[in-house]
């Protein structure tokens, strides 16, 4: 009987945590299948008017090969989604792990557009590789679906009084982009945002004094004392995705694509925000800014210098949260070498003994005096130094296989200025199935010069 009771209890707990899938007509994943959401109703009367909407993370895509490959996975098509989803972090149904939000209405928005939840592409075209980038439009469709009728027998979203919009990585950036739109759509609710690892990108870099809006430079550009690649990339993504530009930002920026970086968008956001971010975001450093991985003594002076440069930019950029004229925004910025790890609800990272679970809950519910709302690591090192998280730079990644060297060699010299030339010829290189990361690797590692006759064969030299 005891075993039977335990089994029933386990099954009942799993059922309580399960969120059920609803596909929404008129929304689109990359491949054109319906997007949608998973939903679990409120578990207690105290949370009857409290909602958590979580935007899934999962990188981005920006070239034909990567985006078409993504369209054949759960990150690009709802064909691969299960009928239920079990929530985690702020959607965990365990009151011990998630004391403030476990019993709220929970909406989980799977990420299937590759566009950081920002796109508004209504019809695919050759310029979008025949795919939909409809992340923002999908949020609009999902909220419109939830407004009149969440689920039979459950209050509609329009009855909400407290709403937390959150998400990690791409979902964190989507939180920045969409929180004010959501607040306008729910005028009777207090809507707040908690982006996790979504500050793409920082600004106020030391090497771009005349372009303080601009993201940190890529590692190859930084090494060569150049600028412009990340600025061009932001503009390219805004155009490719037909990004929903924050209206307040677009109204004051001479170049609206500048609003594609959180550094420039943040001051224009009206809704209250609690920013959870690792100071040395290794996803940005390695994957977006193309610094090769290293570990301990294998890190060169250049690599350590670039990590310090990135962290300095992040501290300056997020200083806007502390200095923000609207006041009341929260910030948790540990000196960690990590992306999303440790800084969400249930995260283990600590600053001065405080962790993200209690900080976010106290801020959201205005429990003044219990904990500070803004914590920034002040350990003296210019490199990751928080003892409660990963402070070591990881092992090198294996070199990726090049697929577009022939086209690059035709268009550009592999010497100085290679990557700038590649960006100028990006449409042709994308047609050759290049990716930006591959172009970076090719330009940063030009082929060895021909060997004189007495030298070992070129193949042997390349293998050394």
Q: At residue 333, what are phi and psi to the nearest 5 degrees?
A: -130, 80
pLDDT at 185: 96
Query: 259 with 371, same domain?
Result: yes
Helix-strand-coil percent breakdown of the chain, rounded to 5? 40, 10, 50
The residue out of 324, 341, 376 marking a domain boundary is: 376
pLDDT at 20: 96
Containing structural domain, residue 92: 8-376
Asked if 218 and 419 count as a contact pair (C-beta separation under 8 A), the reply is yes
Residue 358 pLDDT greater than 80, yes or no: yes
The residue out of 376, 392, 419 marking a domain boundary is: 376
| Domain membership flag for residue 332 | yes
| Domain membership flag for residue 208 | yes
Please state which of the ranges 63-77, 90-104, 413-427 shows the lowest mean pLDDT: 413-427
What distance in Å separates the CA atoms of residue 175 and residue 164, rounded to the nearest whole number? 10
- Tell me the two tokens of residue 162: 């407290």
| Domain membership flag for residue 1 | no
| Domain membership flag for residue 395 | no
Query: 89 with 38, same domain?
Result: yes
Query: 220 with 365, same domain?
Result: yes
Query: 182 with 117, same domain?
Result: yes
| Domain membership flag for residue 383 | no
Q: What is the pTM of this model?
A: 0.83
pLDDT at 2: 39
Query: 54 with 99, same domain?
Result: yes
Query: 140 with 226, same domain?
Result: yes
CATH of the domain at 67: 3.40.50
| Domain membership flag for residue 297 | yes
Query: 304 with 410, same domain?
Result: no
Split at pLDDT 50, 70, 90, the class of 410 is confident
Q: State how many domains the chain has.
A: 2
Split at pLDDT 50, 70, 90, the class of 439 is confident
Query: 334 with 426, same domain?
Result: no
Query: 408 with 290, same domain?
Result: no
Among residues 368, 293, 388, 377, the alpha carbon closest in space to that of 327 is found at: 368
Q: What is the pLDDT of residues 151-202, one digit of tens each?
A: 544 568 989 999 999 999 999 999 999 999 999 999 999 999 999 999 999 9
């Amino acid at each position: 009987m005891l075993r039977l009771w335990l089994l029933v209890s386990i099954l009942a707990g799993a059922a309580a945590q399960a969120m059920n899938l609803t596909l929404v007509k008129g929304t689109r994943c990359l491949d054109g299948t319906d997007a949608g959401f998973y939903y679990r109703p409120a578990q207690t009367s105290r949370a009857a008017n409290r909602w958590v909407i979580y935007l899934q993370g999962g990188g981005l895509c920006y070239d034909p090969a990567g985006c078409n490959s993504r369209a054949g996975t759960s990150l690009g098509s709802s064909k691969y989604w299960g009928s239920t989803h079990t929530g985690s972090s702020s959607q965990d149904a365990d009151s011990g792990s998630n004391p403030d939000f476990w019993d709220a209405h929970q909406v989980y928005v799977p990420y299937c557009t590759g566009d950081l939840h920002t796109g508004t592409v209504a019809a695919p075209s050759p310029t979008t590789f025949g795919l939909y980038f409809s992340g923002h439009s999908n949020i609009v469709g999902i909220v419109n679906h939830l407004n009149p009728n969440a689920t039979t027998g459950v209050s509609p979203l329009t009855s909400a009084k407290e709403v937390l919009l959150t998400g990690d990585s791409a979902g964190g950036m989507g939180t920045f982009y969409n929180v004010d739109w959501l607040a306008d759509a729910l005028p009777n609710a207090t809507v707040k945002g908690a982006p996790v690892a979504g500050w793409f990108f920082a600004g106020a870099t030391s090497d771009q004094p005349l372009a303080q809006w601009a993201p940190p430079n890529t590692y190859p550009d930084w090494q060569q004392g150049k600028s412009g690649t990340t600025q061009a990339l932001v503009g390219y993504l805004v155009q490719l995705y037909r990004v929903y530009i924050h209206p307040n930002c677009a109204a004051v920026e001479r170049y609206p694509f500048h609003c594609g970086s959180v550094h420039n968008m943040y001051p224009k956001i009206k809704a209250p925000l609690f920013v959870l971010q690792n100071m040395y975001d290794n996803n940005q450093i390695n994957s977006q800014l193309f610094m090769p991985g290293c570990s301990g003594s294998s890190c060169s002076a250049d690599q350590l210098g670039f990590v310090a440069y990135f962290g300095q930019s992040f501290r300056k950029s997020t200083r806007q949260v502390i200095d923000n004229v609207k006041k009341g925004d929260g910030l948790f910025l540990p000196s960690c070498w990590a992306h999303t790890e440790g800084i969400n609800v249930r995260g283990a990272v600590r600053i001065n003994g405080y962790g993200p679970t209690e900080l976010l809950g106290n801020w959201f519910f205005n429990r003044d005096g219990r904990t500070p709302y803004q914590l920034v690591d002040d350990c003296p090192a210019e490199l990751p130094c928080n003892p409660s998280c990963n402070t070591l730079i990881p092992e090198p990644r294996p070199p990726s296989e090049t697929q577009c060297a022939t086209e690059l060699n035709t268009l550009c010299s592999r010497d100085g200025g290679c990557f700038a030339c590649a960006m100028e010829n990006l449409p042709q290189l994308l047609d050759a199935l290049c990716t930006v990361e591959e172009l970076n690797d090719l330009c940063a590692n030009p082929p060895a010069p021909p060997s004189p006759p007495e030298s070992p064969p070129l193949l042997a030299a390349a293998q050394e």
